[in-house]
Structure 1
Amino acid sequence: MTVVVLAVAIALVAVIIAVVAVVVALRKNQTKTAPHTPTTPKDPFAPEGDTTGDPRTLKAGDMLDWGVERTWIRGSLRLSQGGFTWTEHFFETDEGKAWLSVEEDPTLELAVWDARPDVELTPHAKTLEFEGVTYQLDEKGSGSYRSEGTTGLKAAGGMDYADYESSDGRLLSFERFDHGPWEVSVGRKVLPGSFTIYPGS
C-alpha cells in the first residue's frame, strides 16, 4: 500500500513539474515573439498637441485670440525662395494693418509686423538707423508669392525682401511685390502659444 501511494505521489510530482515546465516554455516563447515597439523620441517643444493650435496651418478666415484682442486672418501670402517656404498672414488691429509671419528655420519662428506706410526708407545698406535704433542686415533675396484671400496683391507674382534685426531683437523688414515700391514694416518676435487659433469654416 505504501509503495502504491509513493508511486502515485511521484507520478503527481512529475505531472506538476511537467506542467510548470510547459508554462515556463510558453511564456518564454511569447516574450521572444511579442513585437517590441520602440519609443520614438519626440521634440518636447513641437506644436503637436498644443491646445493653442498650429500656426503652420493658418489660413484666411481663422480667428486669432491674443487674450486681450480677437482678430481674423483676412488673407495669406505663401512665399518661396528656392526650396525654402514661409507664410505671412494679414490681419487688422486697432493700430492698423499687421502681418503674422510663420517660418521653420529649422525651428518654428513667429513674428508680428506692423506696416509703416508713412516711412520712406530703402534697404540700401548693411546697417540702417531707424527711429533711434541701429539695425543690421540679416538676409535678403528674391522669390515668388501666392496670394489667398484679401492681401491687396494679384493671385501670384514675384517679390524681393530684406530683413534687418537690432541687437535687442527688434525687427525691420522691407518687401516689394512685382517690382513695386518698397514696403516697410517693424516687427517683434512672438512665441508659439502667444495666441490661440480658432479655425474658420
Structure 2
Amino acid sequence: MTPEVAAILGLSAVTIALLLGAFLATTRQGRKPRTSGTPGESPLQPAEGAQPPRPSAGHVGIDYPDPRTIKVGDTIDCQGTRTRVLGALYLSSQGTEWTEYLLDDGNRRYQWLSIETRSGPNPGDPPHLEVLLWTSVPTQGMIPAKTTLSLEGVEFFPVDRGTAAFRSEGVTSMPERGLLDFADYRAADGRLLCFDRLQGQPWNSAYAQPLPPGSITIEKKG
C-alpha cells in the first residue's frame, strides 16, 4: 500500500467516525413519556410534523410566564387555544423528574403538556425548559419495537425506553400512584413519538409538538 492510499483510507475512516458520532448524539436526545389516560372517548387528531423549538428569547418568569408555576384548576392559553388544567402527573425515572398536565379545551378534546428542566447540550451550558404538547394518535394495537418502526409513512428510530413512577392530582383517568412503561422514538425530521402504558394495560401513543418560549399564558384559578 502506497503512502497516498494509506492517507486516503485514514481520512475516510475519520469521516465515517465523525458522521456516526453525530447521528448517535442526535438520537440520544429523547424525552420521557407522555402519560396515556384521558377522560372521555372523543377521538384526537394527530399533530402535524413537529418543528424544532425556536431559540429562547428573554428570560422565563421575567419576559414570559414560567410554565412550571401551572397548577391544577388554572386556565391557560396554549398556542391561541384557551384550555383548563384538569389534572397533573408528577413523574420520575432514574433520577429525572418532570410534570405533565391534562388540558381540556371545553369541547372534549384533550392534550397533555409536559414540562421538564433539561441540562444544556454542552458541559457548562445553563439548563433550559423543554415544553412539549402531546396529541394522541391511533396505532391500532401496535406494540413498540426495539427497532425502527413505521407510522403513517414516517420512519421512527428508538431513543429511550423504561419505566417511570408517577403520582397523580386532579382528573387524569390514572391511579393515584403507579408505574408507567414508556418507549420513545424520533423521526429524521425531529418529530417525536411516544408509546406508554400502565403496567399490564394496552399501549397508547402520541406525537409531540415542541412549544417555543412564551407561547403559554397562565390565568391563575380564583
Q: TM-score, normalised by structure 2?
A: 0.65
Q: How many pairs does the alignment contain?
A: 158
Residue equivalent to 1:105: 118
CA contact (8 A) 1:91 1:99 kept: yes
- Per-residue CA deviations over 1:13-55 (Å, capped at 9, x if unaligned) read xxxxxxxxxxxxxxxxxxxxxxxxxxxxxx975413133x211
Identity rate of aligned residues, in percent?
A: 37
**Alignment partner of 1:48 is 2:61:** yes
CA contact (8 A) 1:119 1:184 kept: no
What letter matches 1:90 in structure 2? L
Which protein has the bigger helix share? 1
CA contact (8 A) 2:57 2:213 kept: no
Q: Secondary structure at the match of 1:56?
A: helix
The one of 78, 95, 111 aligned to 1:66: 78
CA contact (8 A) 1:67 1:195 kept: yes
> Structure 2: where are the runs of 5+ without partners?
1-55, 120-127
Residue equivalent to 2:142: 121
CA contact (8 A) 2:193 2:205 kept: yes
Residue equivalent to 2:166: 145
**Alignment partner of 1:192 is 2:205:** no
Distance 2:184 2:208 in 1: 10
> Structure 1: where are the runs of 5+ without partners?
1-42
Larger-Rg structure: 1
CA contact (8 A) 2:67 2:216 kept: no
In structure 2, relative to structure 1, the CA distance for the partners of 1:191 and 1:77 (3 Å cut) is same
Residue equivalent to 2:15: none
CA contact (8 A) 1:169 1:188 kept: no
CA contact (8 A) 1:121 1:184 kept: no
Q: Could you tell me how far 1:57 is from its partner in structure 2?
A: 2.0
Q: Secondary structure at the match of 2:173?
A: coil
CA contact (8 A) 1:81 1:142 kept: yes
CA contact (8 A) 1:135 1:165 kept: yes
Q: Which has the higher contact order (CA 8 A, sep 6+)?
A: 2
Distance 1:59 1:120 in 2: 34
What letter matches 1:150 in structure 2? V
Q: TM-score, normalised by structure 1?
A: 0.71
**Alignment partner of 1:172 is 2:185:** no
CA contact (8 A) 2:178 2:198 kept: yes
In structure 2, relative to structure 1, the CA distance for the partners of 1:199 and 1:126 (3 Å cut) is farther
